[in-house]
Amino acid sequence: MRSIIPDYLADALFRVEPDTSGQPAQYIPELAGADPERLAAVVATIDGEVYGAGDSDAEFTIQSISKPFVYALALADRGFDTVLDKVGVEPSGEAFNEVSLEHDTGRPLNPMINAGALTVQSLIGPWNSEPAERGERVRQGLSAFAGRELTIDERVSSSEMDTAHRNLAIAHMLRSRDVLTEDPRTVVEGYVRQCAVLVTARDLAMMAATLANRGVNPLTNEQVVSGAVVRYVLSVMFTCGMYDAAGDWATQVGIPAKSGVGGGLIGALPGQVGIATFSPRLDEHGHSVRGVSLFERFSSDMGLHVM
Ligand code: DON
């Protein structure tokens, strides 16, 4: 029987299309020039069905949506104790690029904000891994979540590095508290490359579906990370993934989610589906404007709120 989901998704895109508020990320020169009209929505079920509408195969950079997946890889590579010793799991209630460190320990409050993600970047792979090895572990790990080989947009990566003053400042703060124990610039370079991995909305939906499926990619059947790791990741996505809009999101949409300034937005419903949207114009929190509208619509139309 033909599914009604593609028609439903196409109709949802049609309804949010007139909203042209917000603008693509301006602080990364390569992103400022993104086509603002691009629009896509994809739903991937945990048994491997994928339904898409709009520009679901258009590539864009993953940006902060990499954070929960790289956190998962760090938990898998180094274990819970080591990672939790360095990065907390408390919401910051602040923007993604605030410093947000615990006063007494200097630990970043959570892995979804930049301070936490920079620290997580230093915890990838076996202890003392070289930066190039960590970079490859991240690229391959994100590829395993997506179920296909992903590449890096070198132009976006070098463009972001040219203006990465704020992330460099945060990394130096972390170094000054000995949360980072290596050259802050090397860590920022690794983080910026992680953010520049190219994905499509279809890839992001598969990545989210892998989280929804307790770490098993529904298409390749690879167990990418354990169910215990996924429980941690989805918990921090729920409480911290939408930064200073996390409470509004939890009450209104009620799906563990993560956004990126490339215009992507994912949600993962445990035991059910991964959802991804793509539209580059952003609101004041750095979330895709039309992506947020689409998720509000999906949550209420399909009864997806977890509560
Ligand atoms: O750290 C940055 O500024 C970017 N590379 C990623 C930020 C981001 O995607 C925030 N999320 N909405």
> What is the Å distance from ligand 1's center to 261 Cα?
5
Q: Is the pLDDT of residue 168 over 90?
A: yes
The active-site residue out of 16, 51, 67, 86 is 67
pLDDT band at residue 3 under the 50/70/90 scheme: confident
- Testing ligand 1's pocket by substitution, the residue of 26, 27, 60, 63 carrying the most ligand atoms inside 8 A of its CB is 63
Ligand 1: distance of its center to the CA of 255 in Å? 20
196 in contact with ligand 1, CB cutoff 6 A? no
d(CA 123, CA 86): 9
Between the CA of 42 and the centroid of ligand 1 the distance, in Å, is 22
Identify whether 292 is a catalytic site residue: no
Give the ipTM: 0.99
Which ligand 1 atom is nearest residue 282's CA? Answer: 12
- The CA-based angle 265-20-156, given to 5 degrees, is 50
User: CB of 286 closer than 6 A to ligand 1?
Assistant: yes
Give the mean model confidence (pLDDT) for residues 149-165: 96
Give tens-digit pLDDT for 169-192. Answer: 999 999 999 999 999 999 999 999
Taking residues 45-61, report their average pLDDT. 97
Q: Output the CA 128–ligand 1 centroid distance in Å.
A: 26
Q: What is the pLDDT of residues 292-302, one digit of tens each?
A: 999 999 999 99
Contacts by residues 79-83 (CB-CB < 8 Å, ≥ 24 positions apart): 80/232, 82/123, 83/120, 83/123
Beta bridge partners of 45: 273
198-213 as b/e: b if 16+ CB within 10 A: ebbbbbbbbbbbbbbb
pLDDT higher for 28 or 142? Answer: 142
Averaged pLDDT for residues 207-218: 98
Q: What is the mean pLDDT of residues 270-292?
A: 97
27 CA closest ligand 1 atom index = 3
pLDDT at residue 1 greater than cutoff 70 = no
At residue 10, the 3 state secondary structure works out as helix
Instruction: Look up the pTM and report it.
Output: 0.98
CATH 3.40.710.10 occupies which residues in the chain? Answer: 5-63+198-302, 64-195
Residue 86 designated active-site: no
Q: Per-residue pLDDT for 223 more than 90?
A: yes
Q: Give ∠ CA 60-240-169 in degrees, rounded to 5.
A: 70
In CATH, 64-195 is 3.40.50.1970: no
| Residue 2 in this model has a pLDDT that exceeds 70 | yes
Q: Looking at residue 278, what is its pLDDT? A: 98
Q: State in words which class domain 5-63+198-302 has.
A: alpha beta
Answer yes or no: is the C-beta of 259 below 6 A from any ligand 1 atom. yes
- Give the residue whose CA is nearest to atom 4 of ligand 1: 63
* Structural tokens at position 171: 């990394």
> Of residues 192, 261, 273, 289, which has the active-site annotation?
261
- The Cα diameter of the chain in Å comes to 60
